[in-house]
Amino acid sequence: MFAKVMSVVLSFLGISAFAKDKEGKSFLLPEQEKMLKDKYGDKFLESFKKDLADFERDGAAAETAVTEEVTAKLQAEQADNAKLLARIKALEEAERQFKADIEAKEKEIEKLSKEPGNGAGEVKTEETGQEQMAHRFKTDMSLAHNQWLDAAFKGAAYSGNTTIDTTELQKEFGKYVSSERLQILKDLMGTTESIRYMSTIVTDKTEVRAMQSAIDSVLQQFVPYWTPKSKSTFTPLTIKNFKCKINVQIKPSDIMEDILGYLYDENLDPKDMPIVRYILYQLIFPKLAEEREQALAVGVYKENSVSQDGGTASAALDCMDGYVTQLKALKTAENDKVTWLLDGTALSTDGETLLSQIDQAVDQVKPLYRNKTMFVHADPDLVIKYSRAYREKYPWLKNQDGEKVKIDFTNFTFAPLEGMRGTGVFFITPKENFKHLMSKDPQRTSIRMETNHYNVDIMAEWWEACGFWLAEAIFAYIPPEEERESQQSSQGGGV
């Protein structure tokens, strides 16, 4: 390192050697010190003078440190640095141009949004005289249903036809979905409560399976031979992907008053919100999110034998195998690779005993995972019982984390999941072992509308699933059979 610094200093000062004192030691002239101080600062100057004295302590001349090899390496580094600097400048210029383009587009959008539009939501620009679509969706106010809402919203009487033309509604739906496709698909597959605790695999395969294990040991005693350690033992689990859909039939004339009320509540002008947005975001997506959360947790896939239109639709919980269902299947199969917490023991109704049981359960987590920050995914009813028991035993302690319930002396925190309510189940696993599958091909996720007399039929299809990667990284509690049956009977059914 000193050789490179030495070479740089000599080059900067424009000299080939330093001045020498009567003992033959190199030293810097006052003007040379000033040049280095102005260029690199006091700290560099003092450090260089110290390194210079240390190098020549044994009688070697400082200039001998600068060999041809060091000079060649330094020149090569300088050339690389020059290329890197040129690249940085090019990127800075590209960024500057990109920001300028964005600013120009924003100004254009602002200008176009103020232009008068025709019934199709198109605008004309004076500069070109060509019809262009505005950047954001513009509601087509030539359609009867939008005119009806606009008049009602403004308190005026609408004298036109009050019957909604479903063909017009389908046309608007198609245009809206086309212009807002990415956002709609994102909201269609929105993150549910449990997905927040999963790691996502983007795939178009109908099933996935772990192909590589985590390395758990590499250190060994040295011997002059190749002695690879035995392969890590692990049990990859297969996660099946399921194709799901929604088929929703809506009678637009029946929801016009509801839409009008929503416009008043949200203070939106009808021209700023098409009916199709209300149908999607207020009627379909909230219910879909609720049912997806249930299916991802306790769904049990059942083959649907319906082969013709008008047949019986499957229940929401029949579309996929949820993670609780998969854990129960592993327990039934007596998979000994999974660590079954409190195996065969029912959780106590006594608060202090319950606290002791949870402590015992987390102590059963393998040492390799005990120091990891992980969540205890659990039935919300269980978390409430634990929290109340803890407060009763330690009433003087205040929960500084609000609703977060951390288990003492561990890195584990309870994560109550609504989809698990009533199951009595809880499990611990790293986020990287808890998987969510979704399609990487947007074309495999579609949403469309068809008209059927006075009704509109909304359809969407997509692929989705969840599961676990490796059995050895799962630490799960499944209530004994008799307790599960009593829970199910008390709730009028159960999972």
What pLDDT is stored for residue 161 in this prediction?
54
Task: Tell me the two tokens of residue 183.
Answer: 């956002």
Give the model's confidence band at 311: pLDDT under 50 very low, under 70 low, under 90 confident, else very high. low
Relative to beta strand 122-124, strand 131-133 is antiparallel
Q: Distance of CA 334 to CAs 189, 233, 254, 337, Å?
A: 34, 18, 53, 9
341 within domain boundaries: yes
Mean pLDDT of the 217-228 span = 76
Indicate the residue among 12, 32, 66 that finishes a domain.
66
Task: Tell me the two tokens of residue 429.
Answer: 């696993």
- State the CB neighbour count (10 A cutoff) for residue 36: 19
Indicate the residue among 48, 66, 84 that finishes a domain.
66
Task: Tell me the two tokens of residue 273.
Answer: 């919100």
| Averaged pLDDT score across all residues of the chain | 79
The residue range of the domain holding 395 is 316-490
Residue with the two structure tokens 């587009």: 105
156 within domain boundaries: no
Answer for the pair 424, 382: CB distance below 8 angstroms, yes or no. yes
User: pLDDT of 14-42, one tens digit each?
Assistant: 777 777 777 778 888 888 888 888 888 88
Q: Distance of CA 143 to CAs 130, 148, 271, 333, Å?
A: 23, 9, 11, 60
Name 172's Cβ contacts closer than 8 Å, sequence gap at least 6: 139, 140, 143, 146, 274, 275, 276
Give the model's confidence band at 399: pLDDT under 50 very low, under 70 low, under 90 confident, else very high. low
Give the model's confidence band at 216: pLDDT under 50 very low, under 70 low, under 90 confident, else very high. low
207 within domain boundaries: no
Residue type, 242: F
User: pLDDT of 56-83, one tens digit each?
Assistant: 777 677 666 666 666 666 667 677 777 7
Answer for the pair 467, 239: CB distance below 8 angstroms, yes or no. yes
Answer for the pair 52, 25: CB distance below 8 angstroms, yes or no. no
User: pLDDT of 85-116, one tens digit each?
Assistant: 888 888 888 788 877 877 777 676 666 555 54
Give the residue among 360, 348, 358, 351 at the shortest CA–CA distance from 389. Answer: 351
Dihedral sign computed on CA atoms, order 426, 431, 432, 436: positive
Give the model's confidence band at 119: pLDDT under 50 very low, under 70 low, under 90 confident, else very high. very low
**What is the rounded CA–CA span in Å between residue 54 and residue 1?**
14
**What is the rounded CA–CA span in Å between residue 396 and residue 132?**
67
Q: Please give the tally of structural domains in the chain.
A: 2
What pLDDT is stored for residue 172 in this prediction?
85
282 within domain boundaries: no
Mean pLDDT of the 304-319 span = 73
Residue with more model confidence, 117 or 35:
35
Indicate the residue among 66, 97, 115 that finishes a domain.
66
Give the model's confidence band at 130: pLDDT under 50 very low, under 70 low, under 90 confident, else very high. very low
Structural Rg of the chain based on CA atoms: 35
407 within domain boundaries: yes
Lowest model confidence (mean pLDDT) among 126-135, 326-335, 343-352, 382-391: 126-135
User: pLDDT of 363-384, one tens digit each?
Assistant: 999 998 999 999 999 999 999 9
What pLDDT is stored for residue 122 in this prediction?
43
**What is the rounded CA–CA span in Å between residue 174 and residue 180?**
10
What pLDDT is stored for residue 467 in this prediction?
95
**What is the rounded CA–CA span in Å between residue 222 and residue 219?**
9
User: pLDDT of 167-212, one tens digit each?
Assistant: 888 888 888 887 777 788 888 888 888 999 999 888 878 888 876 5
113 within domain boundaries: no
434 within domain boundaries: yes
- State the CB neighbour count (10 A cutoff) for residue 460: 22
What pLDDT is stored for residue 135 in this prediction?
43
**What is the rounded CA–CA span in Å between residue 414 and residue 377?**
6
33 within domain boundaries: yes
Answer for the pair 102, 135: CB distance below 8 angstroms, yes or no. no
